[in-house]
Amino acid sequence: MESQKEARILQEPVARPPGASRSQTPNAKERQEGGPVPAAAALGAEADDDSADGLWELPVEPAKRRPECSRCSRPQKVCLCPFLPAHPLHISTHLYIIQHPAEVQLKTSISSQYVIRMQPTNRCLSTLECAAVALSILEKNNYIQETLLRPLQALCSFQLQHGAQIRLSKEHLLKNGLYPKPMPKNKRKLRKMELLMNSVKI
């Protein structure tokens, strides 16, 4: 009789306090994880969910884009249109651009005006500058060079005004001990650096 009474007591459900939910009764999973979640933590999580749900109801402000020029598609503050020729240049030369991996050097005393980009040597020019110099020589018209380089000068000026820095050539930095990177271990690249330091045409 006593054993039957004890079995009946064990099978009877445990009385819960008023207002307690079934989820507050510890189960096997909760015991394995170290016990049930405290009520305060559960309320805090619910409050966080409620506050996050409120964020979705806030109005979304569209991103404001800077006004752009309809001709060159650049921001109006740095528009290059005033520096472009009013009318197309009339030239009789057909220009074909073929880029060499070592980047095209001209036998000229002209220094690159693309000062916001590091050039390999002091004699290297950008593609636009090479085209401008070549056309001015072939057409025997220095105005072509001046006209084509005016937008490049404006571009560099805008960039320098907004935080860009003047970049000296690798040749200049190497000769003056100012090159910030360690010398390459690759023999081919190291040979290139040595030629730059000795002003040998690569």
3 state DSSP class of 105:
strand
Which residue has 């520096």 as its token pair?
83
- Every domain of the chain and the residues it spans: 77-83+110-167, 169-201
Sequence-distant (≥ 6) Cβ neighbours of residue 78 within 8 angstroms? 158, 162
What is the separation of C-alpha 15 from the centre of its chain, rounded to a whole number of angstroms? Answer: 64
pTM: 0.58
The pLDDT tens digits along the chain (202 residues) read: 555 545 454 455 555 555 544 444 445 444 455 555 555 555 555 555 666 667 777 787 777 888 999 988 899 989 999 999 988 899 999 989 887 766 666 666 778 899 998 888 777 888 999 899 999 999 999 999 999 999 999 999 999 998 999 988 888 888 888 888 887 778 787 787 777 767 655 4
**Helices (H) and strands (E) in the chain — how many of each?**
7, 0
Alpha-carbon distance values, 161 to 28, 48, 55, 78, 202 (Å)? 68, 46, 40, 10, 34
